[in-house]
Amino acid sequence: MLPLFIARTYFLLYIYPQQHMENIQHVHEESTTTRLRAIVSGSIGNLVEWYDWYAYSAFSIYFAPIFFPDSNPTAQLLNTAGIFAVGFLMRPIGGWLFGSLADRAGRKFSMTLSVLLMSFGSLLIALTPSYQSIGLVAPILLLLARLLQGLSVGGEYGTSATYLSEMATSDKRGFYSSFQYVTLIGGQLIALGIQLIMQKLLLSEAQMSEWGWRLPFFIGAALSLVALYLRSHMAETKAFQSSADTAKQSVKKRSGSIAELLKHPKALITVFGLTLGGTVAFYTYSTYMQKYLINSVGFSKEQSTVITFTSLLLFAVLQPLFGLLSDRIGRKPLLIGFGVFGTLFTVPMLTKLGQLDSATDSWLAFFILMAALIIVSGYTAINAVVKAELFPTNIRALGVGLPYSLTVAIFGGTCEYVALWFKHIDQEQLFFYYVTGCIFVSLLVYLFMKDTRKASSFH
């Protein structure tokens, strides 16, 4: 299986692009209808990918005992969070693999392949037997599934960010690109929404824990087929087509290569720096928050799911508004706003959440979480377009995807694990300062970087 995948990867990266270039000679002006169709097709595929990714986090509160039979609930969650983090380690490889493919063979081709790979990971999780049935093979298969999903989602971010940015007009680039996080959050919302329906209308607690948690992964595998169809019919970007024609005339300019990427060290460092605080804050208030409300505050699984779902729904609605604002006033003011408010208020907000009474303070928990997500929107809504605007077309997908995936793997993927580890050693407050420190480092980058709306690499 692995040798076959490696052989196929070699074909896709080095042989197929030369054949594929013959089919993209024509360059056309994207009409408004073409752009809208491209946004819908690209975004739905993105939504399905992130649904598959987040279903693991949402339903881990049910399947943790299935794969890790331990009497301590925190230890069980720690084990599943560990595999969640390991999945992130594949994201840099995915960022390189699919980013290179996108810069050489096309954004469309890379995005279509990544969503297909994600479906395999979901199907494997759905079909894996319990620890009681097959012993250590069960968590090993779970790990393999997350590695496949990590590879896929690592390639998805850079390619879809590039695609949405290139399909947009110059005055609406922030708005168009914000839909990446709309669908990213939307994937999590669908996972949580399915969880709510199953919890409240369809299954008992026992049924959810025994077999109900498998259903969302079957759904994810099926939805991937829909995304695959849509992506196979979407248009390629004019920017890539023009770059491909130029690259054919220049043997010195290798699209999608590491050597070409290393010619842009300042942009690479900027991506690392601006991603650090944003990814830690985002994963704190999205994927980890559900566990925090249950494990630390004392809310029930159902209460936690409702609070998380509602806040994330409004969070998704905010993304295009922040994207439009960045098209008016620039990207830098929003990033600085996130950096300043995140540094000042992270510790007070998380501390207050931990002091709430789960019996009476559901609404207060929602408002605190919502305030945190509004702050984080200064990063999430525009980070994709900022990164895309840092790199030229021939290296854009790889330039966005690889350094972002490395940063997320090191800091975003381990966020939940670090939080649970501090909880495990009874030093949970230290995690709040860890998040604050990461945001502060990014704030320093925001203060000294150029506003990419005015200094864009797009021509």
- Indicate the Cα dihedral angle 359, 360, 365, 368, nearest 10°: -160
Regarding predicted confidence, which is higher, 80 or 142?
142
Q: CA 31 → CA 165, 214, 458, distances in Å? A: 15, 42, 18
- pLDDT on residue 145: 86
Shortest CA distance to 228 belongs to which of 417, 398, 44?
44
> 79 pLDDT band (50/70/90 cuts)?
confident
Mean pLDDT score, 355-367? 87
The amino acid that residue 305 corresponds to is T
Place of tokens 């992964």: 217
Q: Which range has the top average pLDDT, 105-119, 193-207, 233-247, 263-277?
A: 263-277
How many other CB atoms sit within 10 Å of the CB of residue 328?
A: 10
> 11 pLDDT band (50/70/90 cuts)?
very low
Mean pLDDT score, 43-54? 80
Regarding predicted confidence, which is higher, 69 or 307?
307
pLDDT higher than 90, residue 348: yes
**Residues ≥6 apart with Cβ < 8 Å to 141:** 124, 128
- pLDDT on residue 6: 39
> 22 pLDDT band (50/70/90 cuts)?
very low
User: What tokens does 441 get?
Assistant: 């480092």
- pLDDT tens figures, 372-418: 999 999 999 999 889 988 888 888 888 888 898 889 888 987 888 88
Spans of all domains in the chain: 38-235+264-448
Shortest CA distance to 449 belongs to which of 343, 342, 330?
330
> Looking at the chain, how many residues does it have?
459
Interatomic CA distance for residues 436 and 142, integer angstroms: 32
| The architecture CATH gives domain 38-235+264-448 | Up-down Bundle (1.20)
- pLDDT on residue 183: 86
pLDDT higher than 70, residue 15: no
> 320 pLDDT band (50/70/90 cuts)?
very high
- pLDDT on residue 76: 66
Q: What is the mean pLDDT of the chain?
A: 81
- pLDDT on residue 72: 63
C-alpha torsion sign, points 138, 143, 148, 152: positive
- pLDDT on residue 155: 82
Of the chain, the percentage scoring pLDDT greater than 70 comes to 86
Q: CA 197 → CA 16, 17, 48, 190, 191, distances in Å? A: 44, 45, 19, 10, 10
Q: What's the whole-model pTM score?
A: 0.78
- pLDDT on residue 70: 64
- pLDDT on residue 29: 44
- pLDDT on residue 131: 79
Cβ(423)–Cβ(78) below 8 Å? no
HEC string for the chain: CHHHHHHHHHHHHHHHHHHHHHHCCCCCCCCHHHHHHHHHHHHHHHHHHHHHHHHHHHHHHHHHHHHCCCCCHHHHHHHHHHHHHHHHHCHHHHHHHHHHHHHHHCHHHHHHHHHHHHHHHHHHHHHCCCHHHHCCHHHHHHHHHHHHHHHHHHHHHHHHHHHHHHHCCHHHHHHHHHHHHHHHHHHHHHHHHHHHHHHHHHCCHHHHHHCHHHHHHHHHHHHHHHHHHHHHCCCCCHHHHHHHHHHHCCCCCCCCCHHHHCCCHHHHHHHHHHHHHHHHHHHHHCHHHHHHHHHHHCCCHHHHHHHHHHHHHHHHHHHHHHHHHHHHHCCHHHHHHHHHHHHHHHHHHHHHHHCCCCCCCHHHHHHHHHHHHHHHHHHHCCHHHHHHCCCCHHHHHHHHHHHHHHHHHHHHCCHHHHHHHHHHCCCHHHHHHHHHHHHHHHHHHHHHCCCCCCCCCCC
Interatomic CA distance for residues 247 and 390, integer angstroms: 19
Regarding predicted confidence, which is higher, 353 or 359?
353
> 324 pLDDT band (50/70/90 cuts)?
very high
Mean pLDDT score, 49-63? 80
Regarding predicted confidence, which is higher, 400 or 26?
400
pLDDT higher than 50, residue 12: no
- pLDDT on residue 168: 76
- pLDDT tens figures, 247-265: 554 444 556 678 888 888 8
User: What tokens does 296 get?
Assistant: 């630390």
- pLDDT on residue 130: 82
- pLDDT on residue 456: 67
pLDDT higher than 90, residue 77: no
User: What tokens does 113 get?
Assistant: 């392949």
- pLDDT tens figures, 151-195: 888 888 788 888 888 887 778 888 888 888 888 888 888 887 888
User: What tokens does 160 get?
Assistant: 């879809």
How many other CB atoms sit within 10 Å of the CB of residue 356?
A: 18
Cβ(282)–Cβ(412) below 8 Å? yes
The amino acid that residue 295 corresponds to is N
Q: What angle do CA 421, 425, 430 make, to 5 degrees?
A: 70
- pLDDT on residue 249: 44
User: What tokens does 431 get?
Assistant: 């995690």
Q: Which range has the top average pLDDT, 21-30, 62-71, 261-270?
A: 261-270
